[in-house]
Amino acid sequence: MSRTLVAYFSASGVTKRTAEQLAEAAGADLYEIRPAVPYTQADLNWMDKRSRSSVEMNDRSFRPELADKDADIASYDRIFLGFPIWWYVAPTIINTFLESYDFAGKEIVLFATSGGSGLGKTLQGLAPSCPGADIREGKLLNGNPSADELKKWVENL
Ligand SMILES: Cc1cc2nc3c(=O)[nH]c(=O)nc-3n(C[C@H](O)[C@H](O)[C@H](O)COP(=O)(O)O)c2cc1C
């Protein structure tokens, strides 16, 4: 079995596609982080202060529930962890995911897609959720990077 996992959350499909390509390039298994309650289009409206994503992201201690807790984290050494940037950081469901498993001794490499923002303080927001893990900032993977680019990135980590 591959010792590398690509775990991702994607609300509208962009990160999903990148995660699939990264898994292919890295020879990794793929795991989708799914919310117990899927985000609707209205939930994702960042211009509406009362939308679900706005309300949740306003409280960084909020932990959206997961649909499943069946990722076999123990079997992997390196976990690529991908998500869309929400309000300049990772959606808090990524904290839920990290807090749901034991990542001690694992290498976690972040990747994200966005409308243009970088990873900002994403790492600082996630590190307390995975004590004992070697968590690395990784890369913003916007613009549909080629298989070659992804392979080079993985090889040089
Ligand atoms: C609630 C919400 C907040 C967002 N905040 C940002 C942001 O701060 N900066 C940015 O560049 N893009 C932001 N975006 C855009 C997403 O990061 C971008 O569209 C991403 O590629 C979507 O990935 P997905 O299809 O995997 O969900 C936001 C999108 C949503 C829904």
Q: In this structure, what CATH number is given to the domain that contains residue 116? A: 3.40.50.360
9 Cα nearest atom in ligand 1: 26
The rounded mean pLDDT for the chain is 97
The pLDDT of residue 34 is: 98
Percent of the chain with pLDDT over 70: 99
Mutate to test the pocket of ligand 1, among 59, 86, 92, 140 (most ligand atoms within 8 A of CB): 86
CA distances from 94 to 27, 49, 126, 146, 149 (A): 23, 21, 8, 25, 25
Distance 139 CA to ligand 1 centre (A): 15
Number of folded domains that form the chain: 1
Smallest CA separation from ligand 1 atom 2, residue: 86
Distance 57 CA to ligand 1 centre (A): 12
Distance 12 CA to ligand 1 centre (A): 9
Does residue 11 register a pLDDT over 90?
yes
Q: What is the mean pLDDT of residues 57-81?
A: 97
- Residue pointed to by tokens 């898994």: 23
Q: Which domain holds residue 21?
A: 4-155
The ligand 1 site (C-beta within 6 Å) comprises 10-16, 44, 46, 53, 84-88, 113-117
CA distances from 108 to 1, 18, 52, 143 (A): 18, 17, 28, 22
Query: What is the pairing mode between strands 29-32 and 78-84?
Result: unpaired
- Residue pointed to by tokens 């968590």: 135
Does residue 157 register a pLDDT over 80?
yes
CB 101 within 8 A of CB 73: yes
**pTM to 2 decimals?**
0.98
Q: What is the mean pLDDT of residues 72-99?
A: 98
pLDDT tens digits for range 132-155 = 999 999 999 999 999 999 999 999
